[in-house]
């Protein structure tokens, strides 16, 4: 993997305007190109594309990680601690219900990270992480 590689992720939403309010307004992603059926977002420098596909929304399968049931299908970002804390505060203020409330996972172990999980309005699971030491990202 190249340090300057970017990702592109397309995912289903039930309503484009609702996705705009959530990803643009609450999460703070700048909007890019769009049509009546999709919208691009600048997701921390990566391309996130919300496609109108209500029948494909939601999640169901989970996997046990550090004593929590983590949605098997999820996406998110690794951000610095200040951004992570500010996002958690914005989500709480907006009344977002957490699947896994913000906490420190793997405390005092390799890969220690701050993490939180929540759903967007279409039922897509998101995880946001922060590492005190980004060198621990792939630690075993």
Domain positions in the chain are 8-54, 62-136
For 34, half-sphere exposure in the C-beta direction (CA atoms, 13 angstrom radius) is 16
The most distant pair of C-alpha atoms in the chain lies apart, rounded to whole Å, by 47
User: Fold match between 8-54 and 62-136?
Assistant: yes
Average pLDDT over residues 37-51: 97
> What pLDDT, on the 0 to 100 scale, is given for residue 3?
64
Q: What is the CATH number of domain 62-136?
A: 3.10.180.10
Q: At which residue do the structure tokens 């769009």 appear?
A: 34
Q: Cα–Cα distance between 98 and 28 in angstroms, integer?
A: 18
Q: Which residues contact 48 (CB under 8 A, 6 or more apart)?
A: 9, 11, 23, 29, 40, 41, 42
pLDDT in tens, 81-124: 999 999 999 999 999 999 999 999 999 999 999 999 999 999 99
Q: Sorting pLDDT into bands at 50, 70 and 90, what band is 60?
A: confident
* pTM across the whole model: 0.92
The CATH classification number of 8-54 equals 3.10.180.10
Q: Are 127 and 139 in contact (CB under 8 A)?
A: no
* CA nearest neighbour of 36 among 50, 56, 22: 50
The helix (run of H) or strand (run of E) holding residue 92 is helix 81-93
Percent of the chain whose predicted confidence (pLDDT) is above 70: 98
Whether 57 has a pLDDT exceeding 60, the answer reads: yes
pLDDT at 125 over 60: yes
Q: Is the dihedral of CA 4, 139, 61, 26 positive or negative?
A: negative
């Amino acid at each position: 993997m190249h340090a300057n590689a970017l990702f592109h992720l397309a995912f289903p939403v039930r309503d484009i305007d609702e996705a705009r309010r959530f990803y643009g307004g609450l999460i703070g992603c700048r909007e890019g190109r769009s049509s009546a059926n999709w919208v691009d977002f600048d997701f921390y420098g990566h391309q996130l594309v919300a496609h109108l596909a209500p029948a494909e929304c939601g999640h169901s399968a989970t996997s046990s990680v550090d004593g929590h049931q983590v949605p098997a299908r999820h996406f998110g970002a690794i951000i610095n601690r200040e951004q992570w804390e500010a996002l958690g505060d914005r989500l709480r203020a907006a009344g977002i219900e957490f699947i896994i409330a913000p906490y420190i996972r793997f405390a005092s172990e390799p890969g220690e990270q701050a993490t939180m999980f929540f759903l967007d309005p279409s039922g897509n699971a998101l995880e946001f992480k922060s590492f005190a030491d980004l060198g621990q990202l792939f630690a075993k």
